[in-house]
Amino acid sequence: MAGETILAVEDEDDIAELIRYNLEREGYRVVTTSTGEAAVQEAVRRTPNLVLLDLMLPGVDGLEVCRRLKADTRTANIPVMMVTARGEEADVVAGLELGADDYVVKPFSPRVLVARTRAVLRRRRAVPADETAPLSVGGIEIHPGRHEVRVADHLVELSATEFKILHFLARRPGWVFTRYQIVDGIRGPNYPVTERSVDVQIVALRKKLGTHGKLIETIRGVGYRFKE
């Protein structure tokens, strides 16, 4: 949607310019800052539609910026997309758990940057699905009320935990979740699931879903995502 404001936090001038050029060309308004302190101030002052946040910043780093934005009611709802270097998966996990929405890895192509930016903004505009409403996604039909899953009209027998994991991921296609977030999202008194056992559950879930199992994607070093 044209006219949306994006705050880009990036200490490398050439990357900041690359971001500005490509997003402005798509009709976004782009504000850039090069430090974490300025990023927090600008976010409070302008309430941008999205913060594009480099994690490796001098002084207050990106994770701390994310923590401060999410802790302040004035900025907590602004989506954050992290910009990371390869090999920073641990930071990506930490950022997602702090409430960041997504991430792009440097070096990124302008096309990927624009696509991911659009996707995060689109997901934010989407009305959150009613947790009890039947869901049809990627050829999988999920009926929370009946705890039923069908693929091509065939009933798939899932355990309660497998069902919860599938429903949790499929409600938000394209979102990356860490194992901790998955456990946290499905946890209840009857679901004693550990982070490690999420991997085991997902292996079983994929197998039961057959060819549709590949809709659950592994994001190496980070977690899982239901294919968008």
Number of residues that bind Ca ion (CB under 5 A): 3
* 54 binds Ca ion, rule: CB under 5 A: yes
* 56 binds Ca ion, rule: CB under 5 A: yes
CB of 159 to Ca ion, least distance (A): 44
Alpha-carbon distance of 42 to 227, in angstroms, equals 33
CB of 107 to Ca ion, least distance (A): 12
For Ca ion, the closer CB: 18 or 56: 56
CA distances from 19 to 1, 53, 97, 196 (A): 17, 11, 25, 37
Q: State the binding string over 5-44 for Ca ion (x if CB under 5 A, else -).
A: ------x---------------------------------
* 64 binds Ca ion, rule: CB under 5 A: no
Please identify the residue of the shown chain whose CB is closest to the bound Ca ion.
Answer: 56
- Report, in angstroms and rounded to the nearest whole number, the Rg of the chain calculated over CA atoms: 19
For Ca ion, the closer CB: 54 or 88: 54
What does the DSSP assignment read for 51-115?
Answer: EEEES--SSS-HHHHHHHHHHSTTTTTS-EEEEEETT-HHHHHHHHHHT--EEEEES--HHHHHH
Binding site for Ca ion (CB under 5 A): 11, 54, 56
